[in-house]
Amino acid sequence: MDIKLRDLQLSDKEYFFSWINDEDVIRYSLSIFQKMKSRDEISHWFDNLLVDESSFNKAIIDGSNDKLIGYAGIAQISKTNLSGEYFIFIGDRTYHGKGVGTWVTKEITKLGFKELRLNRIMLTASEKNIGAVKAYTKANYKIEGIMRQALYRDGKFHDKIIMGILREEWVNL
């Protein structure tokens, strides 16, 4: 599979309207996605995403047809602590379970350490999102802890797994 990363563009917004309204796609994703339903809410969120200076955002593209399939990056970047929080959202379901998440996680992590000069990148994932946890583990993220009952989905509380990777761990791969 030919996956590429590029900067997010205003024209990418259109894809998010259907993705964010797909319950299966957003089930374990950002909590804000659980609340946004209208085109105006999604549009406002996306417009802010394009100008957010505390985030590093990249579009995920299928290079064989230049189709947008999601986005990923690092949020809450601390220039003081040289850290940030990794995220990925693959909105196009047909790309789930195909190794895209692992590849993108490795690439964004590399950019975080090389371009952003971070020392630590962390993430959180629902314990139920087994595919994501596998992808992060394959990208050499280590489990650092558990946030008990930190996620509420489908009428139940779920634990969130905290994972992280340090520059020194990444350099020594």
The architecture (CATH level 2) of 3-171 comes to 3-Layer(aba) Sandwich (3.40)
pLDDT of res. 78: 96
Q: Residue 30: what pLDDT?
A: 75
The two structure tokens encoding residue 156:
């139940």
Q: Please state, in angstroms and rounded to a whole number, the distance separating the CA atoms of residues 132 and 145.
A: 16
pLDDT class for 104, splitting at 50, 70, 90?
A: very high
- Residues 81 and 120: beta-carbon distance below 8 Å: yes
Q: At residue 28, does pLDDT exceed 80? A: no
In degrees, rounded to 5, the angle at the alpha carbon of residue 69 between the alpha carbons of residues 65 and 74 is 130
Q: Which two tokens stand for residue 7?
A: 């900067």
Q: What pLDDT is stored for residue 53 in this prediction? A: 87
Burial (CB < 10 A; 0-12, 13-18, 19+), residue 30, is middle
d(CA 80, CA 160): 26
pLDDT at 109: 97
Q: How does pLDDT run across 80-98, given as a tens digit for each residue? A: 999 999 999 999 999 999 9
Mean pLDDT of the chain: 93
What is the pLDDT at residue 165? 98
Q: Would you kindly state where each structural domain of the chain is located, as residue ranges?
A: 3-171
Helix (H, G, I), strand (E, B) or coil at 151: strand
Helical packing angle, 39-51 and 13-20, nearest 10°: 130
Is the per-residue pLDDT at 35 higher than 90? no
Q: Given strand 83-90, what is the order of strands in its sheet?
A: 3-7, 56-62, 67-78, 83-90, 120-126, 156-166, 142-153
- Whether the pLDDT of residue 1 is over 80: the answer is no
Main-chain dihedrals φ then ψ at residue 99, nearest 5 degrees = 90, 0
Tokens representing 25 are 């796609």
Quick: pLDDT tens for 112-166: 999 999 999 999 999 999 989 999 999 999 999 999 999 998 899 999 999 999 9
**What percentage of the chain reaches a pLDDT higher than 90?**
79
DSSP secondary structure of 9-46: -GGGHHHHHHHHT-HHHHTTS-HHHHH--SHHHHHHHH
